[in-house]
C-alpha cells in the first residue's frame, strides 16, 4: 500500500464497504438474533447503545458480513455524516445500506479510534460535504469516501489525541448527567410549590 506520502487517502489505509443490502423495509423481530445499525442511530458521535438497535431475522441463506470490534461506521446520507467507532458490538450485528463500514488495514500505522476521530474532524467533514451529491438529500459516494485525504501523525500522537478526546467526552457526559439531575430537582420543586399554592 502507498501510505508513505504525507496525506494518504482513506483507501490507502482502510477498506470501505456498504452496509447489508436488505430487500425492502427491515422487519422488526423482538427476539431476532440479528441487530441492525441504522442511520437514525448515528445522530451524534457518541457510542452506540445496543439496546437501541433494531432486532430482526434474516431470510437469506447467504452468510452476511457482520461488523467487528474497531470497525468504523459512517453515514452516507444527511448533512452531518458522523463516524462511529464500534467497541465490542453485539454478535451478529449488521449495518443498513445507508451506512459505510470502514476497516483499518494496518492498526500499527493507524489506530481505528484515531481514524474515527479524524473522520469527525471539521476538515474531513468539510471534504465530505463538498463531495455530497443530491439536491433533496445529501449523499456521499463510496469513491468520495475512499479519496478523503487524511493526516496520520505518529502512533504516540494519535494515542494522545484519543486520550484527550475521551477525557472531553467523559466530562461532557458527566456535565449532561448533572444538568439532567438539576432539571429534575427544579421540576420537582416547582411542582411542590404549585401544589402548596393550590392548597
| Residues 60-71: tens digit of each pLDDT | 777 889 999 999
Q: What are phi and psi of 118, to 5 degrees?
A: -70, -35
Whose cell is 436488505? That residue is: 22
| Averaged pLDDT for residues 118-143 | 79
CA distance 36 to 42: 12
Is the per-residue pLDDT at 149 higher than 80? yes
Q: Would you place residue 136 in the very low, low, confident or very high pLDDT band (cuts 50, 70, 90)?
A: low
pTM passes above 0.85: no
Amino acid at each position: 500500500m502507498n501510505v508513505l506520502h504525507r496525506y494518504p487517502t482513506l483507501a490507502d489505509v482502510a477498506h470501505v464497504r456498504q452496509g447489508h443490502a436488505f430487500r425492502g423495509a427491515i422487519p422488526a423481530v423482538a427476539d431476532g438474533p440479528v441487530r441492525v445499525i441504522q442511520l437514525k442511530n448515528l445522530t451524534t458521535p457518541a457510542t452506540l447503545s445496543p439496546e437501541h438497535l433494531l432486532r430482526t431475522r434474516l431470510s437469506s441463506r447467504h452468510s452476511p458480513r457482520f461488523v467487528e470490534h474497531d470497525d468504523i461506521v459512517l453515514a452516507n446520507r444527511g448533512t452531518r455524516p458522523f463516524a462511529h467507532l464500534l467497541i465490542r458490538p453485539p454478535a451478529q450485528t449488521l449495518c443498513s445500506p445507508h451506512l459505510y463500514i470502514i476497516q483499518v488495514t494496518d492498526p500499527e500505522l493507524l489506530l481505528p479510534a484515531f481514524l474515527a476521530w479524524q473522520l469527525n474532524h471539521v476538515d474531513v467533514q468539510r471534504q465530505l460535504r463538498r463531495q455530497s451529491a443530491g439536491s433533496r438529500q445529501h449523499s456521499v459516494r463510496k469513491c468520495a469516501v475512499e479519496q478523503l485525504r487524511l493526516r496520520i501523525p505518529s502512533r504516540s500522537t494519535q494515542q494522545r489525541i484519543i486520550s484527550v478526546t475521551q477525557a472531553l467526552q467523559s466530562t461532557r457526559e458527566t456535565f449532561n448527567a448533572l444538568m439532567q439531575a438539576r432539571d429534575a430537582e427544579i421540576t420537582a420543586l416547582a411542582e411542590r410549590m404549585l401544589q402548596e399554592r393550590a392548597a
